[in-house]
Amino acid sequence: MKNKFKYSFILATVTLASGCSSLGVEPWERDLLAKEQMALTSSPIDSALDDHIYFSKEASSGGKSFGGGGCGCN
């Protein structure tokens, strides 16, 4: 199961990387992408606060950014 995930991920990455030359936009087509709401993390403060909550309440952390240490949370 875990290996399957790993291989799917590698496959997805390779597919994306090889197909990426045909993907994307010209610099003058970035009007929508340049909006701050289109940033992958559009509210960094919210994300950091959420990460801290879920880090201390669940057994998983990170993924999007570093999981890190940082607190002796109860």
Partner 1 sequence: MQLINDDNEMKKTVNKANLKAALTLATTALLGSVQVAAATTSVEPTEDSWSFDSAFLYYSEANRVSAAEAVFNANKIYSDDSILNVKLTIDALTGASANGAVAQPKVQTFTRPSGKGDYDIKPGDTPLDDTFHDTRVQLNGQWTQALAQNYTGSAGGHISKEYDYLSLGVNGNIAYDFNKKNSIASFGLSHFQDTFTPEGGLPKPFASMTAAYHDDGDESSHDATRMGSDDDKTTTDIMVGFTQVINRNMVTQLNYSYSVVDGYLTDPFKILSLLDSNGIAQDYLYENRPDKRTKQSVFAQTKYHFDETILDVSYRYMWDDWEIDSHTVDTRFYIPLGNGSYLEPHLRFYQQAAAEFYQPFLMQGDALPEFASADYRIGEMTAYTVGLKYGMKLADGNDLSFRLEYYRQDPKSAGQKSPGVLANMEIYERIDAIIAQVSYSF
State the minimum distance, in angstroms, from the CB of residue 29 to partner 1.
Answer: 5
State the minimum distance, in angstroms, from the CB of residue 3 to partner 1.
Answer: 11
Of residues 44, 51, 41, the one with CA closest to residue 73: 51
State the minimum distance, in angstroms, from the CB of residue 1 to partner 1.
Answer: 8
Structure tokens at 38: 């289109």
Residues forming contacts to partner 1 in the complex (CB under 8 A) are 2, 5-6, 9, 12-13, 16-17, 20-21, 23-27, 29-49, 51-54, 57-60, 62-72, 74
For tokens 């199961």, the residue is 1
Cα→Cα distances 62→1, 22, 43, 68, Å: 21, 31, 16, 7
